[in-house]
Amino acid sequence: MKIWRPYTQMQDAIPPARVSHALGAHIFLQDGQRLFDGISSWWLITHGHCEPRLMEAIRRQTERLEQVVFANFVHQEAEELSTRLAGFLPPRLNRLFFSDNGSTAVEVAMKMAYQSLQQSGKKRKRSFLTFAKAYHGDTCGAMSASGDSAFTEAYTDLRFPVFRFRQPKDLSPEWRAEFRAFVEAKHEEIAALILEPLLQGAGGMIIWPAEIVREISEICRAHGILLIFDEVMTGFGRTGKMFAFEKVGVVPDLLCLSKGLTGGALPLALTVATEEIFSQFLSPQKLLFHGHSFTGNALSCAAANANLKIFQEETVLEKIAVLENAHRRALEKFALPNPRVLGSMGAIELPEQSGYGSAKSQELYQKCFSRGLFLRPLGNTVYLLPPYCASSDDIENAWGVVAEVLSENRS
Ligand SMILES: *Cc1c(COP(=O)(O)O)cnc(C)c1O
């Protein structure tokens, strides 16, 4: 048996590096090399790798309970998670549905939105509104809601149609008028808007102004379109607040969470719904036909509780503000092209055409790797999204490595 790696052209793949352990913001290889984890291991790790309190919480939980059938049982870790999360979410969002990854959190939100509207008699509301550079996951529903890209091209026939609106280039009144006119024309067919609020991740770390997100949300809401915020990536501090919707000032009807939920330690996801949506499922034959084998895994819940406890007891958002400043200073110091920063995320845009997995981006990846920096460019976008325990020096060093590699490539 051999391993088939995710998102990897196995024919000419660089052999994977063999990891021995990880600690804080660093990954250690068996050959002794130390790497700065510039992308929080695919946007998962919050406080740091092997955070001792998280590891201890998981260890303690292994002595009590790992998994039970969530349709019949509940456990203390899940109840504690709902209480802790309530401390971070507005009362409007009060129904937690568990699954185990970001894509399923999105699938569940889409099924909830669609079914709740069908069951409330809005039979024509059968489609979704999304944006051209969206990314919502790799399962078929989440992939349907995602933009057309190299990630989805091979599966065109498996994606159901959605309304995919063009991206706002800026705050242009034309785009806003067009969006409003589109919603006015099509709202009767649209169940929900699905959106990564403030920061589209896989689409290329695209920052949206809060005003735009607020405006499109208000237009949709005024036309009876539900709001699904996919905060699988933006949640748990990445944009500088616990959740991006706080910066936007709009509470969605459905909120998708995963990735940083367990501090990145174990798989877990939540779809959080309003009581209004939940109440549409309260009669025979109207139940939500959805549930995964690993629903409400107690080890994952224990990790999530330990993660949230750190947010509750420490000034994590202040640490993130320090990282945000460090990005700004470093990007300016090294005069990197088209810099942009939001919370713990800093990104630049390379002028050269270098698509996903292209030779150019492979070369950049390898040169950074050999200098102790782990990052994965998204096409022309080179970004850092480190764990929150990273220091300002770590950020400056990492951007310094990128600058060095780029200047080498030019000469
Ligand atoms: C990563 C991501 C997903 C998918 O999450 P998986 O756990 O990889 O399935 C969905 N939405 C957004 C915004 C993401 O960044």
Q: Which of 259, 268, 381 to mutate to test the pocket of ligand 1 (most atoms within 8 A of CB)?
A: 259
Terminal CA-to-CA distance of the chain, rounded, Å?
A: 44
Specify burial of residue 2 (Cβ count, 10 A radius: 0-12, 13-18, 19+): exposed
Biggest CA–CA distance in the chain, Å, is 70
Task: Please give the single-letter amino acid code of residue 152.
Answer: T
Identified catalytic residue from 7, 122, 155, 333: 7
Residues ≥6 apart with Cβ < 8 Å to 300 = 100, 262, 266, 267, 268, 294
Q: Which of 107, 208, 233, 245 to mutate to test the pocket of ligand 1 (most atoms within 8 A of CB)?
A: 233
Asked about 259 being catalytic, the answer comes back as yes
Residues ≥6 apart with Cβ < 8 Å to 400 = 330, 334
Determine the Cα–Cα distance for residues 131 and 379; give it in Å rounded to an integer: 19
Q: How far is CA 279 from CA 33, 230, 285, 293, 380, in A?
A: 54, 22, 13, 25, 45
Asked about 114 being catalytic, the answer comes back as no
264 CA distance to ligand 1 centroid (A)? 13
31 CA distance to ligand 1 centroid (A)? 31
Q: Which protein residues are within 6 Å of ligand 1, measured from CB?
A: 101-103, 106, 135-138, 196, 201-202, 230, 232-233, 258
Please list the pLDDT of the chain residue by residue as tens digits (411 residues).
999 999 999 998 889 999 999 999 999 999 999 999 999 999 999 999 999 999 999 999 999 999 999 999 999 999 999 999 999 999 999 999 999 999 999 999 999 999 999 999 999 999 999 999 999 999 999 999 999 998 899 999 999 999 999 999 888 999 999 999 999 999 999 999 999 999 999 999 999 999 999 999 999 999 999 999 999 999 999 999 999 999 999 999 999 999 999 999 999 999 999 999 999 999 988 999 999 999 999 999 999 999 999 999 999 999 999 999 999 999 999 999 999 999 999 999 998 765 666 778 889 999 999 999 999 999 999 999 999 999 999 999 999 999 999 998 776
pTM confidence score: 0.97
Q: How far is CA 389 from CA 44, 88, 185, 392, 395, in A?
A: 13, 21, 48, 10, 11
The residue nearest atom 8 of ligand 1, judged by CA position, is 102
Determine the Cα–Cα distance for residues 401 and 35; give it in Å rounded to an integer: 12
Q: How far is CA 226 from CA 77, 273, 366, 391, 404, in A?
A: 30, 11, 43, 40, 47
